[in-house]
RNA sequence: GCCGGAGUGGCGAAAUUGGUAUACGCACCAGACUCAAAAUCUGGCGAGGUCACACUCAUGUCGGUUCGAGUCCGACCUCCGGCACCA
């Protein structure tokens, strides 16, 4: 230990020691209980940014904490190394995406090591390496075998700027999730994974994780799956054998249906108009709607409702009424059945539409009167259209004007009417979901090739498992044009059919990179397995993940896909649980002021408000950087970058270091390593220090469990301040004083280790421990409740709820004694002497409140 | 529009879940050290009020419940996210 704190030297030294000792490598033959701590794997853009630093500082703190508590900790890292930026670099600068990616990984690996994150580097994986993406292909084929991977022509979301297909999730809001360009629609043959088969489980299993996941993430997942309970109802088309199936959540309003409305894309539109004089007008209208939708610039903008009457009639199966069939722009083909029953009185959109086109509005639900007891229908207002409604009444209520169902409550009618429809054969209760199948085809080079071969004779043939991986060629022509660059690589495309051995062609699309990240953390458990994605027995030892940490930008995409993938692996018998992640922490963004403005935005190159972690580490050291990032705000909050904050962090570390230096010679002397048992008497000051030490241990431990790292650092600072106040000098300290100081300093150093591990190691060594924090002897401290107990309580005394005095009392003071002491207190007497004491409230060991009049 | 979440000093934030509001840090002010500055150390730091106490007022606003409310209830305001014609 040097007299002065030199972060660079200390950090280099301990990073080397850790590496030599393989300190962070997790072993399967370790009998201790496991803990799997996972951070979202980074895309190797080339440079670590502050968001990474925050993410890994949090995960590393937890990993260290669990290690010191005696857990066998798995803390791995890898690279989400397929994806668009590498391909863009190839297009723009002619570099090879593989070289570009490998260089970036090498650089970022160095940065992570300089940050001192305690990863098990022996398990490092990268998605772009054949030994990884082989298993993407393997899973794909498993899904293909089971009909869960399929190909269909579909309208896809197309980013005109990047010239590629995007998933629904990636084009959420009608803009490309990466570049922000407005997304267009195109027809292409695409591969899909049938995530909709798992829609129900994705909602239902939320109950298994809701204790450990942030509510805001679960809410977004529920919204994304979009489960909706209702019913299908078939409306027969008059003078035809056609039926129109609609989906409704409000079957109780069906007597108020005054139209059936189809979306412009509905397949029945053309058929209905066969031989009708309105045909050309309606088809023109439908085309116009489709064109308007495709051309829409601002996807959030709601178009004015427009529609056209087809002239055809539908028959309401509940009352036999004939109602017109319309086509309108507000009905979406993608949701439900692409057709709705229009109930203007009880749906805002239908109401608006009916007002515009003067369709009848018929009230069939009345508010439940808020009287006592039974619900009473509000009297029907004589005739069906005589009452003018000014807006739709969308609440549940009581059915009126609804034949045999009149007088029933909505919630009963919804159930009974669906049963009735089913019994009569014109409908049934149904659940729909908003979630769509996951389109994974990408017309790109830099991804895992989809292992399918097209043969003129045999059709679509899966690549045999034994032939995996389908390896990407070394390079291709990167033009940036629409088709996958793989299509231009003859050696790749041309192959033979596995079935008939005739010449055949390979699929040239590659997989969405979210496939890679859906199961990567299982691969960490068994990263070099070349016979399977992983050994199920090894998986059993490590998974599920105990704590996952990452940004909430992945709340729906990655975190839904990985839940889906896990459920599929469970169906394959590879894992034995439904949910891969027990606890999830979504850390807040790191923002910085954009120069010349008052806007705080996520750090980015384009905004010029980035702070380079390397610069920060060079200037302040990894330990201070990590301390600052963890201390500045709760992990979930946005973290606004403030230059001066980090100076406070290094100041604290320097003070602690200096304190350890001051004592280390006395304390590292083995003669001083005595237990408390032999010490007869501690001074009041030493007792106070020990009390503070044990109180701090208890509270910091509780904070670590909750990942409240900012407050745990504040507590460590308080303990340090108590040490500063402790009035003893190393040269003259008594044995008891030395003991108290040792206990405080060692606890402080141990609890600081997860946050600033290098300097903690250095100080631990300085305190006379030769084998390091992970040598097996160092243990997370345990609080002794007896020692943490206050010797004397300061009890606030209130008069009428206002603080008027404080009294001192022994911890075992009785209620009676407290009451008497409070009433006898001079300051309190001044407030109560001229008043009548109505009552005295005594909260044992906490507070006294005297109520007077 | 609908659904979440949040409003506490100059700033980032605490508050054992109904019991001393503002812990810890940043910034700032003063003092010590220094020829001086930086660094470091010591002290101060919600607002009003007072020579100093006392006291009064303060957790977005207004009400309520309670001996007691940052915390619970009701209404409203503002900000930040998410979704967006989802039938």
What pLDDT, in 10s, does the model give residues A114-155?
999 999 999 999 999 999 999 999 999 999 999 999 998 877
Distance A848 CA to B75 C1' (A): 34
Question: Which H or E element spans position A454?
Answer: strand A452-455
Say if residues A744 and A728 touch (Cβ distance below 8 Å). no
Q: Would the Cβ of A305 be found within 7 angstroms of any atom in strand B?
A: yes
Report d(CA A676, CA A667) in Å as an integer.
14
Is the shortest CB-to-strand distance from A837 to strand B under 7 Å? no
Q: Which are the contacts of A771, defined by CB distance < 8 A and separation ≥ 6?
A: A777
Give the nucleotide at minimum CA-to-C1' distance from A658. Answer: B40
pLDDT of residue A698: 95
A434 closest-nt by C1' vs CA: B86
Residue A383: the pLDDT is 39
Which has the minimum average pLDDT: A62-66, A209-213, A251-255, A385-389? A385-389
Cβ of A160 near strand B (under 7 Å)? The reply is: no
**Parallel, antiparallel, or unpaired: how do β-strands A581-587 and A72-74 relate?**
unpaired
Stretch A521-541: mean pLDDT, rounded? 96
Name the pLDDT band for A721 (thresholds 50, 70, 90).
very high
Confirm whether any atom of chain B, the nucleic acid strand, is less than 7 Å from CB of A644. Answer: yes
Query: Is residue A523 within a helix (H) or strand (E), and if so which, with residue range?
Result: helix A520-523
The nucleotide whose C1' lies nearest the CA of A224 is B83
Between the CA of A224 and the C1' of B12, what is the distance in angstroms? 34
- Is there contact between A851 and strand B, defined as CB under 7 Å from any strand atom? yes
Q: At A678, phi and psi to the nearest 5? A: -80, -5
**A754 or A177: which leads in pLDDT:** A754
Which positions in strand B are less than 7 Å from the protein's CB atoms?
Answer: 3-5, 11-15, 19-21, 23-27, 39-42, 55-56, 67-69, 81-87
Q: Separation of CA A659 and C1' B41 in angstroms?
A: 14
Residue A679 has pLDDT above 50, yes or no: yes
Residue A228 beta carbon within 7 A of nucleic strand B: yes
Angle, in degrees to the nearest 10, between helices A7-21 and A622-631: 100
Q: Work out the widest C-alpha separation in chain A, in whole angstroms.
A: 109
Q: Which nucleotide is nearest to A805 (CA to C1')?
A: B20
Question: Which A residues 203-222 have CB within 7 Å of strand B?
Answer: 215-216, 219-220
* Per-residue pLDDT, A377: 41
Alpha helices (H) in A259-345, listed in sequence order: 268-272, 279-295
Measured from Cα to the C1' atom, the residue closest to B41 is: A655
Q: What Å value separates CA A213 and C1' B4?
A: 15
Does an H or E element contain A462, and which?
Answer: strand A459-462
Question: Which residue, among A65, A246, A290, has the nearest Cα to A781 in the 3D structure?
Answer: A65
- Residue (of A672, A673, A676, A709) closest to A786 by Cα position: A676
Query: What's the CA gap between A96 and A108, in Å, rounded?
Result: 18
- What pLDDT sits at residue A388? 67
Is the pLDDT at A320 greater than 90? The verdict is yes
Query: Measured CA to C1', what is the nucleotide nearest A329?
Result: B85
Comparing A117-121, A636-640, A657-661, which segment has the lowest mean pLDDT? A636-640
**Cβ of A742 less than 7 A from strand B:** no
What is the reported pLDDT for A174? 66
Round the CA-based radius of gyration of chain A to a whole number and report it. 35
Nearest nucleotide to A337, CA against C1' atoms: B87
Asked whether residue A717, judged by its CB, lies under 7 Å from any atom of the DNA or RNA strand B, the reply is: yes
Q: Where are the alpha helices (DSSP H) in A573-642?
A: 613-620, 622-631
Rounded to 10°, the helix A622-631/A613-620 angle is 110
Share of chain A above pLDDT 90, in %: 61
Statement: residue A382 has pLDDT above 60 = no
pLDDT number for residue A300: 61
Rounded distance between C-alpha atoms, residue A770 and residue A1, angstroms: 12
Using one digit for the tens of pLDDT, what is the confidence trace for A758-777? Answer: 999 999 999 999 889 998 88
In the structure, how far is the CA atom of residue A26 from the C1' atom of nucleotide B52, in angstroms? 65
Mean pLDDT of A589-607: 77
Cα A162 from Cα A481, distance rounded (Å): 9
Q: How distant is C1' of B21 from CA of A659, in Å?
A: 33
A331 CB-to-strand B distance under 7 Å: yes
Can you tell me the distance from the alpha carbon of A198 to that of A204, in angstroms, rounded to the nearest whole number?
10
| Residue A711, pLDDT above cutoff 90 | yes
The mean-pLDDT minimum among A284-298, A410-424, A803-817 falls in A284-298
Phi, psi (5° rounding) for residue A55? -55, -50
A647 touches strand B (CB under 7 A): yes
Burial-class residue A715 by CB neighbours within 10 Å (0-12, 13-18, 19+): buried
Q: Is A669 left (phi over 0), alpha (psi -120 to 50) or beta?
A: beta
| pLDDT tier at A156, thresholds 50, 70, 90 | confident
In this prediction, residue A334 carries a pLDDT of: 85
What is the pLDDT averaged over residues A668-678?
A: 64
**Of chain A residues 167-206, which have a beta carbon within 7 Å of strand B?**
172-173
Nearest nt (C1') from A843 Cα: B19
pLDDT at A742 exceeding the cut of 80: yes
Examine the pLDDT at A381 and tell me if it is beyond 50: no
Average pLDDT over every residue of A338-353? 92
Asked if the model's pLDDT at residue A386 lies above 70, the reply is: no
Length of chain A: 853
Q: How confident is the model at residue A482 (pLDDT cuts 50, 70, 90)?
A: low
| Distance in Å, residue A640 CA to nucleotide B32 C1' | 35
Q: What is the pLDDT of residue A559?
A: 94
Overall average pLDDT of the A652-662 stretch: 94
Q: How many Å apart are A587 CA and B16 C1'? A: 25
- DSSP type of residue A303: P
- What does A818-848 look like in DSSP terms, one character per residue? HHHHHHH-HHHHHHHTTS-EEEEEEETTTEE
Interval A421-450 mean pLDDT? 93
Dig out the tokens for A589 from the structure: 């963004």
Distance, CA of A738 to CA of A686 (rounded, Å): 9
Q: Where does the pLDDT of residue A809 fall: very low under 50, low under 70, confident under 90, or very high at 90 and above?
A: confident
Q: Which of residues 230-249 of A touch strand B (CB under 7 A)?
A: 230, 247-249
Q: Which tokens go with A820?
A: 């008497």
**How many CB atoms are closer than 10 A to CB A440?**
26
- With b for 16 or more beta-carbon neighbours within 10 A and e for fewer, the A391-408 pattern comes to ebbeebbbbbbbeebbeb
DSSP 8-state assignment for residue A409:
B
Tokens for A80?
């989400």
Per-residue pLDDT reduced to its tens digit, A266-319: 999 988 888 888 999 999 999 888 888 766 655 566 778 899 999 999 999 999
> Which residue carries 């009676």 as its tokens?
A816
Question: What number is the average pLDDT over the span A622-633?
Answer: 94
pLDDT number for residue A380: 39
Between CA A589 and C1' B19 the distance (Å) reads: 36
Q: What is the pLDDT at residue A369?
A: 61
In which band, very low, low, confident or very high, does the pLDDT at A743 lie, cut at 50, 70 and 90? very high
pLDDT at A376 over 70: no
pLDDT of residue A114: 96
Q: Which of A529, A524, A556 is nearest to A543 (CA)?
A: A524
Name the packing angle between helices A50-68 and A97-115 (round to 10°): 50
Task: Identify the weakest region by mean pLDDT among A507-521, A533-547, A596-610.
Answer: A596-610
pLDDT at residue A370 above 70? no
Q: Give the integer Cα–Cα distance in Å for A825 and A797.
A: 9
Q: Which residue is nearest to nucleotide B19 (CA to C1')?
A: A847
Is residue A384 within 8 Å of A356, Cβ to Cβ? no
pLDDT tens sequence across A259-275: 999 999 899 998 888 88
- The closest alpha carbon to A84, from A190, A178, A184, A157, belongs to A178
């Amino acid at each position: 230990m040097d007299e002065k704190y030199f972060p660079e030297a200390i950090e280099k030294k301990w990073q080397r020691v850790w590496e030599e000792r393989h300190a962070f490598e997790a072993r399967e033959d370790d009998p201790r209980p496991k803990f799997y701590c996972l951070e979202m794997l980074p895309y190797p853009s080339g440079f670590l940014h502050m968001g990474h630093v925050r993410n890994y500082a949090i995960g590393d703190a937890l990993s260290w904490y669990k290690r010191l508590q005696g857990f066998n900790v798995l803390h791995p890292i890898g690279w989400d190394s397929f994806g668009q930026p590498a391909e863009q670099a190839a297009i723009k600068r002619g570099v090879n995406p593989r070289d570009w990616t490998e260089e970036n990984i090498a650089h970022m690996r160095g940065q992570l090591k300089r940050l001192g994150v305690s990863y098990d580097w022996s398990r490092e994986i990268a998605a772009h390496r054949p030994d990884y993406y082989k298993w993407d292909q393997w899973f794909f084929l498993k899904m293909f075998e089971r009909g869960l991977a399929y190909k269909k022509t579909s309208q896809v979301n197309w980013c005109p700027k990047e010239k590629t297909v995007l998933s629904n999730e990636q084009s959420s809001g009608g803009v490309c999730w990466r570049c922000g360009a407005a997304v267009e629609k195109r027809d292409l043959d695409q591969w899909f994974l049938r995530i909709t088969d798992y829609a129900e489980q994705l909602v239902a299993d939320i109950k298994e994780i809701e204790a450990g996941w942030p509510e805001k993430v679960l809410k977004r997942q529920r919204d994304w799956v979009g489960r909706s309970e209702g019913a299908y109802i078939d409306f027969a088309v008059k003078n035809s054998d056609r039926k129109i199936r609609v989906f409704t959540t409000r079957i109780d309003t069906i007597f108020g249906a005054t139209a059936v409305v189809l979306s412009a894309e509905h397949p029945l539109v053309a058929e209905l108009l066969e031989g009708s004089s309105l045909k050309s007008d309606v088809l023109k209208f439908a085309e116009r709607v489709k064109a308007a939708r495709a051309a829409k610039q601002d996807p959030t903008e709601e178009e004015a409702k427009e529609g056209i009457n087809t002239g055809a009639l539908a028959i309401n199966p509940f009352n036999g009424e004939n109602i017109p069939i319309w086509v309108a722009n507000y009905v979406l083909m993608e949701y439900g059945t692409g057709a709705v029953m229009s109930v203007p009185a009880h749906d805002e959109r239908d109401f608006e539409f009916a007002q515009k086109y003067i369709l009848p509005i018929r009230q069939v639900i009345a508010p439940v009167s808020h009287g006592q007891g039974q619900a009473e229908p509000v009297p029907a207002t004589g005739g069906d259209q005589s009452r003018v409604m000014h807006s739709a009444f969308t609440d549940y209520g009581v059915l009126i004007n609804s034949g045999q169902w009149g007088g029933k409550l909505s919630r009963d009618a919804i159930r009974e009417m669906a049963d009735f429809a089913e019994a009569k054969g014109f409908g049934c209760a149904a659940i729909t979901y908003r979630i769509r199948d996951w389109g994974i085809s990408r017309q790109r080079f830099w991804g895992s090739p989809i292992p399918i071969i097209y043969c003129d004779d045999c059709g679509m043939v899966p690549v045999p498992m034994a032939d995996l991986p389908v390896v990407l060629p070394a390079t291709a022509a990167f033009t940036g044009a629409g088709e996958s660059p793989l299509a231009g690589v003859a050696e790749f495309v041309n192959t033979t059919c596995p079935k008939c051995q005739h010449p055949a062609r390979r699929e040239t699309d590659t997989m969405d990179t979210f496939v890679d990240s859906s199961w990567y953390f299982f691969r960490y458990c068994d990263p070099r397995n070349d016979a399977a994605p992983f050994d199920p027995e090894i998986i059993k030892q490590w998974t599920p993940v105990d704590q996952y940490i990452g940004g909430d930008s992945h709340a729906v995409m990655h975190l839904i896909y990985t839940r889906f993938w896990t459920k599929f692996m469970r169906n394959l018998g590879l894992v034995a649980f439904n949910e891969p992640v027990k606890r999830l922490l979504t850390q807040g963004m790191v923002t910085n002021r954009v120069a010349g403005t008052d806007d705080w935005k996520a750090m980015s190159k384009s905004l010029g408000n980035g702070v380079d972690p390397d610069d920060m580490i060079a200037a302040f050291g990894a330990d201070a950087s990590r301390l600052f990032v963890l201390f500045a705000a709760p992990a979930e909050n946005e973290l606004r970058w403030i230059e001066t904050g980090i100076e406070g962090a290094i100041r604290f570390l320097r003070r602690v270091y200096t304190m350890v230096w001051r004592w280390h010679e006395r304390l590292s002397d083995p003669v001083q390593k005595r237990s408390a048992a032999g010490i007869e008497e501690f001074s009041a000051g030493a007792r106070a220090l020990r009390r503070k030490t044990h109180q701090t241990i208890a509270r910091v431990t509780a904070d670590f469990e909750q990942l409240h790292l900012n407050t745990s650092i504040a507590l460590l600072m308080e303990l340090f301040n108590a040490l500063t106040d402790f009035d003893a000098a190393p040269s003259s300290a008594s044995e008891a004083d030395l003991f108290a100081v040792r206990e405080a300093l060692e606890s402080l150093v141990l609890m600081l280790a997860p946050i600033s591990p290098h300097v903690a190691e250095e100080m631990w060594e300085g305190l006379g421990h030769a084998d390091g924090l992970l040598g097996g002897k160092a243990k997370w401290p345990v609080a002794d409740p007896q020692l943490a107990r206050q010797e004397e309580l300061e009890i606030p005394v209130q008069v009428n709820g206002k603080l008027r005095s404080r009294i001192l009392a022994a911890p075992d003071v009785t209620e009676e004694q407290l009451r008497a002491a409070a009433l006898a207190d001079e300051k309190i007497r001044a407030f109560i002497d001229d008043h009548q004491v109505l009552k005295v409230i005594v909260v044992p060991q906490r507070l006294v409140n005297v109520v007077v009049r």
